[in-house]
Amino acid sequence: MKVNPNFLKEVKKYGAFDISKCFNCGNCTAICPLSAQDASFPRKMIRYAQVGAEKEIESSLEPWLCYYCGECSDTCPRQAYPGEFMMTLRRYLIAKYDLTGISAFFYRFPWVQNLLTIGIFAVSLAFFLSYTGDFQELAAKIELAFPVYVTLAIAAYVFTFYRKTILEKAKKFVLSINFSNIKETLIHGLTQKNFAGCSDTDWTRWIAHLFVMSGYTLTLVISNLHLLEPLKVQYSVSEFRTFLVFYAASAIILGGFIMMFRRAAKKVQSSSFSHSSDWLFVIMLFLIGLSTLSAHISNIILGPEDKIVELLYKLNIAVEVAWIIVIVPFTKWIHIFFRPMAVYLRNLKKEEAEGKALAFSLPFIK
């Protein structure tokens, strides 16, 4: 393994200022309830970073199997904050897997992402407010464009992730069609069950996460299927759509509020070191929930013709535009996909080692 002394400097640009203090004792790995024989962390990851084993880092699933309970940081005899290092690695990997290089740029110059978000929000809102045509129609088109844009971004990420972690090592396409693996992956994706693997389960964090995740997914569905037309239709309290919107929006608001509160309070390791992108992510989510909910409630009370409803709806769409363009494809958002994928790929690796995975080679991959 070739030693590269400059690699750690690169990683440090994404956080983890204290990781140099690590003297490789391994207490972090010993205390970690999620670290396992085939996925050993944080020590191994820290060591790879220290000696500059770039390839090993970029092909590892471990960062996504860590759920940052923070026990390692509490136990570290050198105050090197291994938990925060794992978080940093996730940022680093997203930056590396982002083929456009924009995530790397945003992580290093977070104010650009912040300004862009505000800028795009302001421009869209100004445009929407001055728009004289049928805004409901325009909103429908915008919401139709979202899934195309997002799917492209996700596909690029997912393929890069697969290429770095599996393809470059196995030199062939392998897939797992094992039912239990697919089931496990889905369960993890939907419930973040790994949170319970941390020995003192941080229930508040898990529940806040679940709220935000389920609320956000539901919002995606509502918006992508263009289920709401608040400028045309008068909704009532008792209908099913209202129930969906109420759940989705309040879950995001409640979960987002808890997250913001915890990041501000810095009482536990996992929310002690917030990167600017973490704040932006949670604040924007919170605003999506808030604008969706207020637009819907005002529609129920005031009806689709009302100016206030129109304003709130335009605000809602403007927030979503900024969110989709600047936040979803860059920095933190993709972790929603990477986490369950890591579970899937870890099982795939096992199956491949046992020769049970579905494998097919392609001529252009050597």
Query: 250 near 290, Cβ under 8 Å?
Result: no
Cα–Cα distance for residue pair 269/260, rounded to 1 Å: 14
Residues 6+ apart with CB under 8 A from 130: none
* Nearest distance in Å: CB 102, another protein: 29
* Nearest distance in Å: CB 349, another protein: 17
Phi-psi region of 178 (alpha: psi -120 to 50; beta: other; left: phi over 0): beta
Which letter does DSSP use for residue 274 in this model?
A: -
* Nearest distance in Å: CB 47, another protein: 5
Residue corresponding to tokens 């949170």: 195
* Nearest distance in Å: CB 5, another protein: 4
Residue 169 or residue 266: which is nearer to another protein going by CB? Answer: 169
Which letter does DSSP use for residue 42 in this model?
A: S
Residue corresponding to tokens 């220290």: 50
Query: 206 near 193, Cβ under 8 Å?
Result: no
Residue 44 or residue 339: which is nearer to another protein going by CB? Answer: 44
One-letter amino acid identity for 6? N
* Nearest distance in Å: CB 23, another protein: 6
Cα–Cα distance for residue pair 95/335, rounded to 1 Å: 12
Please report, for residues 189, 204, 270, 272, the alpha-carbon distance to residue 265 in angstroms, rounded to integers and kept in the order given.
28, 14, 11, 8
| Prior bond of 42 cis (ω within 30°) | yes
Query: 320 near 284, Cβ under 8 Å?
Result: no
Residues 6+ apart with CB under 8 A from 165: 59, 60, 61, 345
* Nearest distance in Å: CB 313, another protein: 53
Residue 2 or residue 307: which is nearer to another protein going by CB? Answer: 2
Residue 32 or residue 139: which is nearer to another protein going by CB? Answer: 32
Interface positions with another protein (CB under 8 A)? 1-3, 5-6, 8-9, 20-24, 44, 47-48, 50-51, 53, 78
